[in-house]
Structure 1
């Protein structure tokens, strides 16, 4: 059941709940996962050493490589026959990351997604068009069960078949759209080509996640779809979507559900904890996960936390998603660049469509960056017009981000479209 009172607990109450559940979670990891027993012993710590939540800083981190090294099921804390479901990442850069759930885990996941959706302004009885991919990816089923838990009616469309998506949006009249932000943009573009104005349809709320996106892209989606776009955050390794979500009141930071997760910010170089408000890498420890506890999981997401009161009344810490993932950072001629920074410059520039791709290549011994963008269909497509626009874009990127790059302006439709997570960076080095 969705319980709003949990979201407005005092900071002291939250700390008390975290301390109790953290002790249980550390014991579960130590007693039932050989990897954690060995890691704790090597670090010279045991669950009994934890007196307050702040003592978590003495426990070892967990990395994605640790999950891959224990592929497929060695991070589970219960026997496989006691599991209810297994999900996995795509594994495009190696072995997939496998995660498991008990029936209790699935129940809590559904409840947290329902809580997130309610905070995003979704209500019981809403007809929800779910264009997240179903399958091993956690997005589709996570949103599906959360919506049903909240009392919504779900249209389980999944990803792909974009013209059919538009037809169903027009014919069924859903009030909520769930997808990645890049796919929502693709849906809007296809709809325009079909002569359908989504902004005139009943859809009023978009719950978008699974990839970084900028406030500039949010504004683009709000206008083109006629909705209020809300960000949802999650990782398969921790649970899936619903670890945190924006409220539709402020849309200023994602409320992290601290009764189920302990959030830290660390310096990614020194690995030392940073105080509230400082920018660093987000680290998450699960507090209630039965099948696969995670202790100090390094998300690689660069952000900061704030615990100031929110206009919505929720007291749980807010996660401010800033430049993106530490892993995504590109160093171009000594300048640190994130794809989301490039997106912030490009989206909304006069004459440009909100589609882009970044290419990395070698210029002699140095790394270099090229940016491909599209002109809007109603703008001049001749060589001189494109050349002038490329110069303009190159100037904006240099002046705002501080890095020089090559810019190619392409015809409408030339940038690959997303039907799930967008491929923003192509490494040609």
Structure 2
């Protein structure tokens, strides 16, 4: 088969759910609740509910579109087919840029937990190693993701038991600030960073068996499981630290188990956080490389990136290109603000997904969820910290400018 051939359909419902969980139950659960608590105060759980609802709207829209357009690329394909070439391009641009920042953040998170002070070395090695795993075929990635998800869920279960057990409620909680509407929306935008992984199922549409059946089943299952995990873990940690203590913690889950009298569990939590970050990185590279493949096929990126490996049936050049860019970023740039920057780009990406789903059916009832998802994505995107909004808007405008210049030169 030629290098320009299609990808191999090997993923069933269970595999797709595992990939979605690996993307969502990742490093976000170890990191995102703290900045969200600083923003929302006592409204933290309300922010989680808002993020979960917007994610559900997006997931429903994405599942409907993925069943209709079962090709690699996700919202890049949906926007192109339903709204026009520019909107598809803009979705692909925001996804690739935003998720490349997420890849770097996950790699640096793993490095910080595994070898503090040498996180960049570990991060580069992790990117190279996981890119090599993806290169060998999506089924190898699924098998590794299963192991990672199992380890992370076991660690999170231990944290919940420690916090809600007999000794968990004996520490003095630190009260959080008063909740405001703006703070709850900002927290929801930050927490959305953790929920955005279900898109990985849709971007792998060309590698899913019977996508019209598999994707609509897998997306809500993965999202529902992740939402339950986040709600239970967040509630357990807050029961020990309080929202104020959570807001001031650099490693909230490790601090929570220490405060609950289970200090021996803190090193286990650190390992779990590193494993979670690696799992999220693995799934992120999968998703970004597939969107890169789709954009290369349409000429928005170099055509060489559209190659598919004749044996492993993966977009090997796109994967290695993404890996190389992420490795360069983690080796040179400090990405502590990557959560906000990534959330802004991904929320705009899902806004385009909801706008695309809006066009599928003209009945009012069928448009409720995509309409709510569209408004929710825009509200959360612009409720993020001002620096994240400014940086994200600049990147989006730069992408639109590149598109306009290419169109002008072509015509």
Q: TM-score, normalised on structure 1?
A: 0.24
Structure having the larger proportion of residues in helix: 2
Larger relative contact order (CA 8 Å, sep ≥ 6)? 2
Query: Greater CA radius of gyration, 1 or 2?
Result: 1
